Chain A
């Protein structure tokens, strides 16, 4: 009798476990579908004529893929292929910011992590304190500075406020705190100068932190809208977000091409994500204090 009930209860447990497992999977599948569905819409709509994008009911598979949407997306309203230039601008700005962030943040982070100079803590706390300043607060003074030095309508005007970031310094410092001192001392005994040590030993061996920071900085500027809105008025100097704003207001009835614009804008970041997802996810991990 006792044997029977325990068998029954164990079967009941199995059923309960399977049911729970099924519900868990179902919730996750629904959530993932909801996450992915707008991407599917973006892709399918980018190959449709405008009026098909708003047909009821929506047909997910375009009857005949309309690749010319992508041509119109690149040509822009006046047919001058302005989008290509805007994409190039975004690349120039985002890459420059990524490069300078990595260099400046690693220099500062290295100084803070490995040298016990007087006032180090004050410098570190000061830099960390700037992390709390929202960009919107310094935006207007920075804009006036840009006007004063004639940096409006110049790509350098898009770059200078983002040459480095407090978060970048924090990230590099945390990473370099764990860098083995023996390696640095060995190089010193070999007669390397302090700058040589930084360049050929520290910088070369900080790849995980550098990659994480480069991606964060690149994405930040690829995404930036408010600052370019202030600085750039000339079409040929605009970046992708500004082009999207323009396209959605001027050619809002050409929905297919609008989604082609979106797909083209999303592509580089997605390629970056699928090739370097480790560093994307570690960028998130930094916040929770986990080692990268």
Chain B
């Protein structure tokens, strides 16, 4: 920085930087900064959608009524159950698959592509396919009945309050495992082969290599993947929306995003919806902070 300033020609040229970043600054001010300030403002006002009355300042009333409503805490619960339910199988599954793939000599590319393919599908398409799989006469029941030896039992994948949570989690796990398998694969690929070779010369068996070398060296990737799974599952919307449209009970799967949408559109209460959306923002802020701390993009930000 200092070196550049000494040269007036370079300093003059560096002003061009403003020319290049100006469109970006305009965009982010208009479509990120302004809306978030507006959302904060709305959260303190009595603002109804499509109402012509000027919104009234009502202080913390929206915040109090949201934070004391059962409906909101039910959404927090639904989101938490979904996130944790997705996290455990996705994290363990993708780590296991990535390790297994890295141990294969042949077919690595095939395994990766096959596992990744569900991630390509749009989430609405995914939901519509699984809607039919979870049909009372659908594949999910047939598969489970074959497994349990119970013929003709309906496990109510979309109707039972507990099952419908499991169903949405299952859809998401199916869709996401491959993506994180690739991420872990990249992490494993970055472990220097000299370290692995040295351990083999020292006579470490494959279990020792895994627990003493591979897994400890994967720790940054693990941290990054964990946070990313939580952030992406917090933003889930399409599956819950479509399942609910199709008659699944709302309460068990009324995740925060769905509740924000419904509060804004069906109840037309923008103040309350803003409070919830800021709550979501706050959680994501904490998670993003963890992500930066966990490395990855954090190093680049410095």
* Chain A residues near B (Cβ < 8 Å): 20-21, 24-25, 27-28, 31-32, 34-36, 38-39, 41-42, 45, 53-58, 104-105, 107-108, 110-112, 114-117, 120, 123, 125-128, 130-145, 160-161, 163-164, 166, 169-170, 174, 188, 194-195, 198, 219, 222-223, 225-226, 229-230, 240-241, 244-245, 247-249, 252, 255, 258-259, 261-262, 265-266, 269-270, 273, 277, 280-281, 284-285, 287-290
Contacts of A244 in B (CB 8 A): 124-125, 128, 242
A137–B138 contact, CB under 8 A? no
Contact: B114 with A36, CB < 8 Å? yes
B130/A38 in contact, CB under 8 A: yes
Stretch of B62-70, B195-203, B293-301 at the chain-chain interface: B293-301
Interface of A is mostly: helix
B42-A141 in contact (CB<8A): yes
Chain B residues within 8 Å of A252, by CB: 246
| Count of chain A to chain B residue pairs whose CB atoms are closer than 8 Å in the complex | 287
In the complex, the answer to whether B186 meets A115 with C-beta atoms within 8 Å is no
CB closest residue in chain A, given B1: A116
Tell me if B17 is interfacial: C-beta within 8 Å of chain A. yes
Of the candidates A35, A41, A108, A230, the one whose C-beta lies within 8 Å of that of B174 is: A35
Q: A261-B128, A269-B120 are in contact. Are A164 and B24 (CB under 8 A)?
A: yes
Contacts of A53 on B, CB cut-off 8 Å? Answer: 132, 135, 138
Q: How far is the CB of A137 from chain B (nearest CB, A)?
A: 4
Which chain B residues border A41 with CB–CB below 8 Å?
129, 132-133, 139
- The closest CB in chain B to the CB of A128 belongs to B301
In contact, B280 and A134 (Cβ under 8 angstroms): yes
Listed from nearest, the 6 A-B pairs whose CB atoms lie closest are: A115-B17, A111-B20, A108-B24, A138-B35, A141-B35, A117-B17
**Cβ–Cβ contact B138 & A54, under 8 A:** yes
Find residues 212-256 in chain B having any chain A CB closer than 8 Å to their own CB.
221, 224, 228, 234-235, 237-238, 241-242, 245-246, 256
Among B80-88, B160-168, B177-185, the one that faces the other chain is: B177-185
Which of B129, B138, B186, B297 touches A262 (beta carbons < 8 Å)?
A: B129
Given contacts A35-B178, A140-B39, contact A104 B27 (CB under 8 A): yes
Closest-by-CB residue of A relative to B10 is A116
Shortest CB–CB separation between residue B86 and chain A, in angstroms? 16
Q: Give the residues from 74 to 92 in chain B that come closer than 8 angstroms, CB to CB, to chain A.
A: none
Task: State A58–B138 Cα separation when bound (angstroms).
Answer: 8
